[in-house]
Chain A
Amino acid sequence: MFQAASIPNLAGAGPRLRYHAAVSTESGIGEPMIHARGLTKRFGNFTAVDGVDFDVAAGESFGFLGPNGAGKTSTMRMIGCVSPRTDGDLGVLGMDPEENGPRIRARLGVVPQTDTLDTELTVLENLLIYGRYFDISYREAGQRATELLEFVQLNERRNDLVEPLSGGMKRRLTIARALINEPEVLLLDEPTTGLDPQARHLVWDRLYRLKQRGTTLVLTTHYMDEAEQLCDRLVVMDKAKIVAEGSPRALIEKYATREVLELRFPVGVQETLNGQLEGLGERIEHLPDRVLVYAADGEAAAVAAHDRGLRPESVLVRRSSLEDVFLRLTGRTLVD
């Protein structure tokens, strides 16, 4: 949507790394980077991912939006070739993870949900040894590490141990580590969960730069603003299934109105409204603490409510968001 305008302009020398805009010839031109049909993951009787279909094109920024437990991480782990699928088809970079796990993983970058940094090693050593896992020479890994630490603004901490770093710094280091093999696809599982707003914006900015260079990004999030900022296209997941798919804007247009009127009533009043809001908008949603009125013109709906003699404590008109899409599709909010 309007990512560029809303991200703070944090200047920094970009690395001279080669980022791949398209899948290499061995998997064929035009083939999607990731292709899933009926992808299923079961743990015993529990179905974590229930027959999902999706394709991710080269250079695309693709998101899985959903609450905790929706099956996002399980899907990411299957794409990352560390979790065998129970059923369905999955192709990553034109190969089957079951047969070519190590070859696929050699071309992926992974940012897991919880940091998996080696706290006994320094910032630089974390990058060097991770490069070694890809059979990159120490010399080459050292050069890339310097560029990447510059890119994530951690160069002055290069010889410090990982442990005293802040959550945001560790996250940036994890992203730098995931780029050491110049991956064609970067998998990010909740890249900014637990970060303060400033740290989140810095991470978003770096990810946006990668996206502009043509790196394919696949991310999961339960933050709708993150999905709006970073994703060209996303799927909404709920209870192991994909419930909607499209660009953030298309999803909002399809499942929500242009504007939302939020009404907050004094304690106890909301329960006594009994249909007094009917017809104010296309749809009314009762949340525990407020009422959402979906209308093309929120201001007009607010005036109409006032004309009906309703006196809410606060009135807010806002643009509708993916949160509203999610509420519409599942009847629940994203972050409970």
Chain B
Amino acid sequence: MTTFVGARKLEHSLMVYRRIWRGTFFGTILSPILYLSAMGVALGSLVPQMTQFGGVPYLVFLAPGLLCAQAMQTATIESSWPLFAGFKWNKTFEAMIGTPQGVRDIVLGHLYWLVVRLSIVTGIFLAVMVVFGAVSSATFILAWPAAVLTGVAFGMPMAAWTATRKQENSFAIVFRFVVTPLFLFSGTFFPIEQLPEQIQAVAWFTPLFHGVNLARSLAIGHDLDPVVLLIHVAVLVTVATVGTLIAFRTFRNRLVV
């Protein structure tokens, strides 16, 4: 009865999620409603018609950005304290590698779990976007996997890094100095063309910029240049893959000593 590598770790995450999902579900629905009504509808009414993307309302411009930012945030959180608990507080990973399960099972299991969790969070977010009338094309459904991929591109490098942490206070620094600045300056709230040119260049190197632009093009159904879209996808896939490969190494260094 063999299954794919990481299947059992995914089962473990689902078993834990079955216990705690009620606590997170309300926030998962509330967050997009609050953001879209405050920033998209209320603030958006003060913003003139966008010149980009065929002149869509600000709400329509903003929503895919928030979608990806939400994916980034969810994945980063899932790859910080919960993983740290497995290494240090509960030591569930130590228990796991005492069984036939190995390091690759833990890393890939976490990857699959990120996909599941991100699918739930961004799926709900997209549903709220539809309710708000913030999508304007049938291609919007493709913004879903785009947002999940964006989250994974943050979650796996973060997981790799978490495995190297001995103290939990490192995580607050990541949120303050990585997640929040990216959230603000990766094209979520305004096109990066509004930024000075040097900073625009920096934005090109952040995964969130690629995720936001990918999801935005698909949700609005505009600027669907296949080459640009493929570049965005390639960047995200590369970051996620490299993060996973590094995680194999850092998890092993942490657990198999």
Q: Among A101-109, A201-209, A294-302, which stretch is in contact with chain B? A: A101-109
Are B98 and A135 in contact, CB atoms less than 8 angstroms apart?
A: no
B76-103 interface (Cβ within 8 A of A): 90-92, 94-102
Can you name 6 extra interface pairs (CB under 8 A) apart from A82-B98, A132-B12, A134-B100?
A: A101-B102, A105-B99, A116-B91, A117-B95, A118-B12, A120-B90
- Which of A80, A112, A120, A128 has the largest count of B CB atoms less than 10 A from its CB? A120
A71 to B98, CA, bound (A): 19
Q: Residues 9-23 of chain B: 1 if any A CB is under 8 Å from the residue's CB, otherwise 0?
A: 001100110011000
- Across chains A and B, the number of contacting residue pairs, with CB separation under 8 Å, is 76
Among B1, B3, B90, which residue has the most Cβ atoms of chain A within 10 A? Answer: B90
Q: Which residues of B contact A117 (CB under 8 A)?
A: 90, 92, 95
Our pick among B20, B98, B255 for the contact of A80 (Cβ within 8 Å) is B98
Q: Contact check: which of B8, B16, B96 meets A120 at CB < 8 Å?
A: B16
Assess whether B8 is in contact with A133, with CB atoms less than 8 Å apart. Answer: yes
B46 within 8 A of A: no
Does B256 contact A84, Cβ atoms closer than 8 Å? yes
A287 CA to B2 CA, complexed, in Å: 58
Q: How far is the CB of B20 from chain A (nearest CB, A)?
A: 7
Residues of A whose CB lies within 8 Å of any CB of B are 43, 80, 82-84, 101-103, 105-106, 108, 110, 112, 114-121, 125, 128-130, 132-135, 137, 177, 181
Q: How far is the CA of A112 from the CA of B255 in the complex (A)?
A: 14
Q: A118-B90, A135-B2 known; A129 and B12 CB under 8 Å?
A: yes
Q: What's the Cα separation between A101 and B92 when bound, in Å?
A: 19
B-side contacts of A114, CB under 8 Å: 91
With a cutoff of 8 Å between Cβ atoms, the chain A residues found around residue B100 in the complex are 102-103, 105-106, 133-135
Residue among A83, A118, A119, A130 with most chain B CB within 10 A: A118
Report the minimum CB–CB distance from B246 to chain A (whole Å).
Answer: 20
| Contact flag A43-B257 (CB < 8 Å), given A105-B99, A120-B19 | yes
Chain B residues with CB below 8 A from A137, complex form: 1
Q: Of B11, B19, B91, which is within 8 A of A132 by CB?
A: B11
By the criterion CB–CB under 8 Å, are A135 and B1 in contact?
A: yes
Among B92, B98, B100, B255, max chain A CB count under 10 A is at: B98
Q: Is the CB of B256 within 8 A of A82?
A: yes
Q: Across the interface, do A130 and B2 meet the contact criterion of CB distance under 8 Å?
A: no
Q: List 19 A-B contacts (CB under 8 A).
A: A43-B257, A82-B97, A101-B102, A102-B101, A103-B100, A106-B99, A110-B95, A110-B98, A112-B98, A115-B91, A116-B95, A119-B90, A120-B16, A121-B16, A129-B15, A132-B12, A133-B100, A135-B2, A137-B1
User: What 0/1 readout, one digit per residue, does chain B (221-257) give for beta carbons within 8 Å of chain A?
Assistant: 0000000000000000000000000000000000111
- What CA separation (Å) do A35 and B96 show in the bound complex? 24
Are A83 and B96 closer than 8 Å at their CB atoms? no
Name the residue on A nearest B97 (C-beta). A82
Tally of contact residues, B, Cβ under 8 A: 25
Contact yes or no, A121 B102, CB < 8 A: no
CA distance A114 to B87 in the complex (A): 13
CA distance A134 to B11 in the complex (A): 13
A82 to B257 alpha-carbon distance, docked (Å): 7
Bound complex: CA of A2 vs CA of B11, how far in Å?
A: 45
Chain A residues with CB under 8 Å of B16's CB are 118, 120-121
User: In the bound complex, do residue A120 and residue B20 qualify as a contact, i.e. CB atoms below 8 Å apart?
Assistant: yes
B58 CB, nearest partner CB in chain A, Å: 41
The distance from the CB of B253 to the nearest CB of chain A, in whole angstroms, is 12
Contact A83 B257 (CB under 8 A): yes
Report the separation of the CA atoms of residues A106 and B95 in the bound assembly, to the nearest whole angstrom: 13
Closest to A112 in B: B94
Question: With A82-B256, A121-B15 given, is the CB distance from A133 to B99 under 8 Å?
Answer: yes
How long is the Cα–Cα vector from A306 to B193 in the complex, in angstroms?
98
Closest to B3 in A: A135
Taking the nearest CB of chain A, how far is it from the CB of B27, in angstroms? 18
With both chains docked as a complex, state the minimum distance between the C-beta of A49 and any C-beta of chain B, in angstroms. Answer: 13
Instruction: Tell me the smallest distance from the CB of A249 to a CB of chain B, in Å.
Output: 33
Question: Which chain A residues border B15 with CB–CB below 8 Å?
Answer: 121, 125, 128-129
Task: Indicate which residue in B1, B90, B102 contacts A116 across the interface (CB closer than 8 Å).
Answer: B90
Give Cα distance in the complex from A114 to B20, angstroms.
25
User: A84 contacts which chain B residues (CB < 8 A)?
Assistant: 256
Instruction: Across the interface, name the chain A residue whose C-beta is closest to B91.
Output: A116
Residues of A within 8 A of B90 (CB): 116-120
- Residues on B with C-beta less than 8 A from A118 are 12, 16, 90, 92, 95
Alpha-carbon distance A204/B19, docked complex (angstroms): 34
Contact across chains for A129 and B91 when beta carbons are under 8 A apart: no
Would you call A121 and B19 a contact (CB within 8 A)? yes
Which of chain A's residues have a CB closer than 8 A to the CB of B98?
80, 82, 105, 108, 110, 112
Contact of B102 among A102, A130, A132, A134 (CB under 8 A): A102
CB distance from B9 to the nearest CB of A (A): 9
A116 engages B256 (CB within 8 Å): no
**B180 to A: closest C-beta gap in Å:** 28
